[in-house]
Each structure stands twice: as structure tokens, then as C-alpha cells.
Amino acid sequence: MTQRKSILIGGLYFLLFAFLFFGFSYWISGGQNGWQSRDKIALIRIEGVILDSREIVRELRRYQRDPDIKAILVRIDSPGGAVAPSQEIYDELKKIQASGEKKVVSSMGSVAASGGYYIASASDIIFANPGTLTGSIGVIMELTNVEGLLQKIGVENVTIKSGKNKDVGSPFRKIKKEERALLQHVLDDVHNQFIEAVAEGRSLEIEQVRLLADGRIFTGRQAREAGLVDQLGSLEVAIAKAAELVGIEGEPTLIEPKERSPLQKFLEGKMFGNWDRSPLSAGPIGLHYLFSF
């Protein structure tokens, strides 16, 4: 029994030693993220419809505090999304810019439109591929009216409200003229916020941006001609430029956030009360900086 116990303890010590040895070797060699280098570029990917900013903002703040991170490269492949998350990511990038400690570079993939472009405009320099779809500076709200369908199947909606505008946008009746004007007023204000943010981020006159802010999309080449993009080039070109801006010689070390495991996502959702966070739970009603085909 004593001999078996000794073998077991010895085995545990061996495993611990092996774990420390290989972990140290991985750290020394740089591993996946190149921890041996003190001159690093953080790569943040914003992909798909933007519904939540928390994870991106958390990573941006972590990289902002890291003195080894010299620049932040934002790779955007998104048609945009909800207004508030897009604004929150933009604001966080502007804070990093204002600190003067790190450069911010954006690289556009296939699509970087509406909220995607909103975020990109908070950069020291923007790269796009010639065929990137970008722009779409505008706001959209889409409502559904199922009143006719309910009448056909014999279902009646009953609404009890405390104010005449409490059910503006209800899918159970047609929208009134004055209600449409009310919603348009809201959209116009949020649209102006978009224009002001782009003007500030790109150092352009507001009226200059307003001429481009009718919701149209541009190719990367057209966006460059319009002053919305600085240079044409791939992600690799943007990486090289970011390294140049901060004085990194040779191949820069890239740091990317590690993908959370399904278990981590599950526990996060349960612990922080986000069990119902999903594209469907966001609902169709709301203001969106979103480009859709």
C-alpha cells in the first residue's frame, strides 16, 4: 500500500514538472501569441451583426492597460448592427486614441458598413480592400404590421396604455402620420450622431460627411476617393503599417483574444443574467446602424 502511494505521488510530481517545463518552454518560445516580445500589436476582430459590445470593450481595455501593446488593429467584417454597441466600441477606441499611448488601425474585410464603418472611423488610419463594401452611413428602423393577417384569422388585439404614444410602432395596427413623424425625428437625431462621429473620427467637416450620409454603400476604392478610407490594402498590409507607425522593426508579434469555450459562454450567460442574449432576443424593433442586402 505504501509503495503504491509513493508511485502515485511520484507520478503526480512528474506531471507537475512536465506541465511547468512545457509551459515555460511555450512561454519562452512565444507560443501562439508571442509572449516573449515586448513590442506587440493587438488584433481585435469584429465579425457579423453587432449586438453586444461588452466582450470587445473588455478586450480593448485590457490591451490599453498592457504596456507591451503598441498598437491596436481592428479587423472589421460586419454590416453593422445595433446603435448603442457600435457607439460604445467607437467611444472606447476614441479613448485609446486620446491617450496617445497606442495607435489604432482599422482593416476592412468583405463588408464594413454602417455600424462597422462607424467603428472604423475611430482610427488613426483605415485600410480597405478595393472591393470592400463600406459606407452605408444611416439609421434604419423596420416595423411589421400584421393587422390584416389577424383579421383574416379572427384574432383581435387589445392594448391598454397610459399615453397616446406608448404603443408607437405596434405590429397590430397601421402607423399614424404623426407617429411616423415622431419616429422620423428620433431617427434623424441618431443619424446626426453618426455624421458627427464620422466627422470627428475622420477630421472632416460635418457638411462634407452629410453629403455622403444618405445610406449609400461604396466600394473600398470609391470610399478612398470620397475620403472615408485612407489606403487600399489587405490585412497583412494593415499589420505592416501598424508596425511602422509605432516603430516596430521586422515581423510584428500579433496578440489575439482567445476564443471562449462553450462552457465559459454557458457559465457567463448564467452568472451574469444573459441567458436570453441572442440575435433573436434582440428583436426586430430598435435603431440600427445596419446595412442589409
Nine cell digits for residue 189: 437625431
Cβ proximity of 117 and 147 under 8 Å: no
Cβ proximity of 243 and 252 under 8 Å: yes
Residue written as grid cell 457559465: 267
Whether 270 is catalytic: no
In the set 166, 176, 265, 270, the catalytic residue is: 166
Name residue 82's beta-bridge partners.
288
For the chain, report the end-to-end CA distance as a whole number of angstroms: 71
Whether 114 is catalytic: yes
In the set 114, 121, 123, 136, the catalytic residue is: 114
As annotated, the active-site residues are 114, 166
